A and B are shown apart, each in its own frame.
Chain A
């Protein structure tokens, strides 16, 4: 069977993995792994490994498996076998090279999309297993360089993109100024205590896609929403530490996010169109902080748009004319069941909607999620060829006439953009916010 490097017929060198591994010895690996297994290897890990019937029925759930000509090394159970399964079996007595391979598999060949949970008769969660493997890698200091840099940014600045505090405030002012050219009365209320809504975004928005903050402000303004954004760290809801296995840092990030919303005495958090951030706030980060559910209501942009349209808070001037299709992001569909609400928003705003198949909970991941795209250029080719099935899916819906792909998730945008380019699909990507902004009555 293949080793990960063969997947793209060329050796992938990642400095984070290489340099981290260079500092290890087999003995150290063993010590760290055994400590980890003793401390955190609980009933889930044990039962998953001992119950797996080796039946292979999960294989076809995984886009990596399908796209790599059904190479079993890419099946969910196949990846478990090559990583954490072997580690548990050998009680950590594995070589440094093994850790390098396991690191590459768990970080770059699984999007933690949890599609396979719906295909395994036992509901064995390969994503949990891959995350466990990543956590071991984190403890060993063997993590792909790009995503580790992001995690460093998180710990130094509490945002994903090394955005400084004044840059953040400047960006908000700048977007407010721009938007006031279009709509004179518009404000981006900063630090407004007691506002109904605390609006949080991911680090890349101020850094690369400030336009999205502008659009959100226009939507909020038109809907007459009482909202605010903080001037302090805590504005960024994203969380790559959740994906590097740095759960301590992940918890810290979520704590700051929640506490900032509570410091401003806001009633609920509305998050921008991002999937992984939603997962971290709704599903993962809160748990590590000891909250069963988030300490104040948290909703994703889809749900917010749904409410605005349902309650006629915003009106559509003219529906979006080009035929659209919808990519269901894993973290808010399998992760929150927002698929029908998203379709409601689309039906309210677009003239022609064409479903891609499979869809809803069964949609294929974009292959960017789970931190895979954040592992950066060394793994790009592998990520894109590892999701040929997504290209086929898009091509089929394009043949039915779809020109625009709506994906309400930043990671999905990154992943789909690469796929559309690589497979020359010539489709355009949009957020729901883009569509609403374009079609709404603004005053």
Chain B
């Protein structure tokens, strides 16, 4: 058990992080170059002001008409995304590990709060699963990979919760936690999770076209 732990918490973290960073860079640069070659007008019409105007409208809860039309989805989606990023970055246990390795540390979330936030992520994943299964318009679009991605996102949080609370089998859970965290990092650039990378560009482009060329709003 210990040997496995050593591997997954040592070299594999490095590997996952490198794949994540290089993979993301590769995807962004590749897309940028492809755009320059095949859709050069994307760059001609890109406007910083209108890009930011649109991005801000879409990262503020209820700032767009459609968010107001789906209040529950809006609350869940925002809570989910905030917790998804905040928990791993500001978790005390993660910061301790990083501090041990590199002697750097930063502000961390009190454990009970991080615990609730973890549950929010898990709850939101269940909510998304429910949407995929129950809502006709979402089910129609759903592919098998969507379930895998959802499971992939939920896994590090479920296993993290498990090991933090020292439930039976928590040692295995800890290993699974690290592995699933690494898997999701690797998945980001190469699956639909890449929406994280492309969101600002897509939104910015839509905002530029609507704002600068069409003199209209896009929210």
- List A residues at the B interface (Cβ < 8 Å): 1, 40-44, 46-48, 50-57, 59-61, 65, 70, 72-73, 75, 77-78, 81, 117-119, 121-125, 282-283, 287, 292, 333-338, 361-362
Contact = CB atoms under 8 A, between A and B. Distances in A.
A334 B65 CA distance: 15
Contacts of A81: 140-141
Contacts of B207: 123
A61 B66 contact: yes
B171 interface: no
A46 B135 CA distance: 26
Contacts of B192: 50-54
B141 A72 contact: yes
A42 B37 contact: yes
B143 A334 contact: no
Contact of A118 (B32, B38, B41, B218): B218
B216 A337 contact: yes
A51 B194 contact: yes
A373 to B, nearest CB: 22
Contacts of B151: none
Interface string B24-41: 000000011011011101
B51 to A, nearest CB: 10
A121 B74 CA distance: 11
Contacts of A337: 214-216
Given A41-B38, A292-B44, A335-B214, A55 B138 contact: yes
Contacts of B214: 283, 334-337
A43 B37 CA distance: 9
B195 A287 contact: no
Contacts of B58: 121, 123
Instruction: Pick from B44, B66, B199, B207 the residue with the most CB of A within 10 Å.
Output: B66
B140 A40 contact: no
Contacts of A118: 64-66, 210, 217-219
Contact of A123 (B38, B41, B205): B205
Nearest to A42: B38
B180 interface: no
A72 B139 contact: yes
B73 A57 contact: yes
A335 B215 CA distance: 7
Nearest to A74: B137
Interface of B: 31-32, 34-35, 37-39, 41-42, 44-45, 54, 58, 64-66, 69-70, 73, 131, 135-143, 146, 192, 194-195, 198-199, 201-203, 205-207, 210, 213-219
A287 B41 contact: yes
B42 A65 contact: no
A78 B140 contact: yes
A72 to B, nearest CB: 3
Contacts of B213: 282-283
Instruction: Pick from A43, A125, A361 the residue with the most CB of B within 10 Å.
Output: A43
Contact of A44 (B42, B65, B135): B42
Contacts of B66: 57, 60-61, 118-119, 121
Contacts of A52: 141, 192
Contacts of A42: 34-35, 37-39
B34 A75 contact: no
Contacts of B69: 60
Contacts of A72: 136-137, 139-141
Contact of A73 (B31, B140, B198): B140
A78 B136 CA distance: 11
A278 to B, nearest CB: 11
Contact of B137 (A43, A65, A338): A65
A139 to B, nearest CB: 17
A187 B213 CA distance: 35
Contact of B38 (A1, A43, A56): A43
A56 B73 CA distance: 11
A335 B195 CA distance: 26
17 contacts: A42-B37, A43-B38, A47-B31, A47-B202, A51-B202, A57-B66, A70-B136, A75-B140, A77-B141, A78-B140, A78-B141, A117-B210, A118-B65, A119-B65, A123-B203, A124-B202, A292-B44
A89 to B, nearest CB: 10
Contacts of A47: 31, 198, 201-202
A42 B37 CA distance: 8
B216 A117 contact: no
B38 A40 contact: yes
B137 A51 contact: no
Given A70-B137, A117-B210, A123-B203, A44 B35 contact: yes
B141 A123 contact: no
A78 B218 CA distance: 21
B201 A117 contact: no
A311 to B, nearest CB: 21
Contact of B216 (A60, A65, A336): A336
A75 B137 contact: yes
Contacts of B194: 50-51
**Nearest 6 interchain pairs by C-beta:** A42-B38, A123-B206, A337-B215, A72-B140, A43-B35, A56-B138
A73 B140 CA distance: 8
Contacts of A70: 136-137
A333 B195 CA distance: 29
Given A46-B31, A57-B70, A123 B137 contact: no
Given A52-B192, A117-B206, A122-B203, A46 B216 contact: no
A56 B137 contact: yes
B179 to A, nearest CB: 25
